[in-house]
Amino acid sequence: MDSPFLLRDVYDDMMVDGVQPTGDIFVALIMGTMRGARLQDAFFFRDEMRAMGLVPEVALYNFLISTCGKWKNSILAIQIVEEMKRYDVKPNGQTYVCLLNAWAAAGRLDQALAIVHDMTAAGFELNKFCYAGLMVAHINKMPRADDVAARIIELAEQSKGWSSLEASGNTGNAMLGVSEEERLKLLLEMLKKDGKTPDTFITMQTMRCYLHAADINRAVQIFEDYLNEGKPSVMELYATLVEGAMVGHTPRGRQLAQETLVNMTSRKFFLNNKVGSDLLLAAAGEKVSKYLSLDIFRKIVFICPFSTSFS
């Protein structure tokens, strides 16, 4: 059982033993529940904290708003802001960012734009998390507008001059609700618009995205296009295709993994210890046929020699 599920028991034991929680203890309890995205428990501790005469500071309120965003509960996030006003807790720039992203996660574009207006009226500048939140709001808004891609690229262009104001902190949910595939598509569109082509790293990440989405044909096409363009090939590019092909352990994937290993060694590329060990572990996940798994093992170990290491 994960620790967030035990925090209520810990708190109950403290009460039975007569231990008076301090503000720092409540912060730790709330933060612990939020790690497990347990919204109900987070607000239970908030209520207990207030009942003992302790008022949360702005940082803790920001974390609560962020948690509401993870649950796409923008109404509750607004209620937290109203509570801050009642207790004279002044919002800071990060408060607006967390609130913006809570609306964005729910696809409430108009409300997200209103938060931007309130934020600038309060004297805060937009930072990269604000622009990311607005992108998410456009993507999550249903029905999705026909010009959403153009709007997102426009926001990305505007964000090149973002402020670094409070760039650190709990804004990790800025791209909440946007799949890895959607993010990559946006990145590729931006590169194309700027007249640039993906480098090896971006190509590998794009392949990995499609392979994990079970779109093997698209990943292979990206791999082949990269090689046909005469770009420098590296062992890691082949290894990415092999490892991704083994996701789900499908017959097509197993065949592709074996063919890629043979193709790789024929071009005089060999695995290093880390990559070889990773591929062995991926092949070991085969649950359909131990014999097919052994075929991949043989090709990794005997055709692509390296010093195995699992440390």
Where is mean pLDDT largest: 140-144, 252-256, 266-270? 252-256
Residue 8: name the closest of 52, 55, 42 by CA.
Answer: 42
269 DSSP assignment? -
- For residues 38-62, average pLDDT: 90
- Contact partners, residue 221, CB within 8 Å, separation at least 6: none
Confidence of residue 311 (pLDDT cuts 50, 70, 90): very low
Q: List, for residues 64-80, the tens digit of each pLDDT value.
A: 998 888 888 889 999 99
- Contact partners, residue 100, CB within 8 Å, separation at least 6: 112, 115, 116, 119, 130, 133, 134
pLDDT at residue 1 greater than cutoff 60 = no
Q: List, for residues 200-248, the tens digit of each pLDDT value.
A: 888 888 888 888 878 899 899 999 999 998 888 888 899 899 888 888 7
Distance separating alpha carbons of residues 229 and 154, to the nearest angstrom: 29
∠ CA 194-195-197, nearest 5°, is: 110
Q: Specify the pTM.
A: 0.55
pLDDT at residue 110 greater than cutoff 60 = yes
Distance separating alpha carbons of residues 112 and 102, to the nearest angstrom: 8
For the chain, give every domain's residue range.
Answer: 197-303
Q: Are 308 and 277 in contact (CB under 8 A)?
A: yes
Confidence of residue 100 (pLDDT cuts 50, 70, 90): very high
4 DSSP assignment? G
pLDDT at 144: 76
Q: List, for residues 148-188, the tens digit of each pLDDT value.
A: 767 776 776 676 544 443 444 444 444 444 555 666 666 66
Q: List, for residues 256-270, the tens digit of each pLDDT value.
A: 988 888 888 888 887
Mean residue pLDDT of the chain comes to 78
- For residues 80-89, average pLDDT: 94
Phi/psi for 163 (5° steps) reads -85, 155
